[in-house]
């Protein structure tokens, strides 16, 4: 299925329903996530910001934060954008050349098989 975005996407089929998820870099903490948001990777801002589609200018506030790569359900995209930005959090598309479908599939399987919840930021 084709979408109108350059943001990497992955289709997830569960119980006969197909959901389209898009990958983003965010500094938002997990409590700001929607119910279907999945955290694929958590690290410091410097490590995660490099996956963004467009360069992110260094910001001292962001530099002190943890950051994540998340999958956001396309139907919740506008809500996430507004929620994260209202709290001053970064919300930037992931570069599809750095993290394509194969990488998303690998990270998603890793996340689903993990014994501890991903995204638990200290």
Q: What is the mean pLDDT of residues 98-117?
A: 82
| Percent above pLDDT 70 for the chain | 89
Q: What span, in angstroms and rounded, lies between the C-alpha atoms of 20 and 108?
A: 13
Predicted pLDDT at 4: 44
Tell me the CB-side half-sphere exposure of residue 44, using CA atoms within 13 A: 6
Residue with tokens 């990777």: 41
Residue 1 has pLDDT above 50, yes or no: no
pLDDT at 121 over 70: no
Q: How far apart are the first and last CA of the chain?
A: 37
Torsion sign across C-alpha atoms 96, 98, 100, 103:
negative
Mean pLDDT of 14-26: 91
Q: What is this structure's pTM?
A: 0.82
Give me the residue spans of the domains in the chain.
Answer: 9-113
Mean pLDDT of 44-62: 84
Q: What are phi and psi of 46, to 5 degrees?
A: -60, -40
């Amino acid at each position: 299925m084709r979408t109108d975005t350059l943001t990497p996407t992955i289709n997830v089929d569960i119980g006969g329903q197909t959901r389209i998820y898009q990958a983003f870099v965010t500094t938002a903490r997990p409590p700001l996530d929607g119910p279907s948001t999945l955290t694929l990777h958590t690290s410091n801002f410097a490590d995660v910001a490099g996956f963004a589609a467009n360069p992110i200018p260094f910001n001292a506030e962001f530099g002190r934060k943890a950051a994540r790569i998340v999958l956001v359900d396309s139907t919740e995209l506008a809500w996430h954008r507004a929620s994260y930005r209202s709290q001053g959090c970064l919300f930037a598309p992931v570069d599809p050349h750095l993290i394509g479908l194969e990488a998303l599939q690998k990270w998603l399987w890793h996340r689903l098989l993990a014994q501890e919840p991903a995204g638990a930021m200290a």
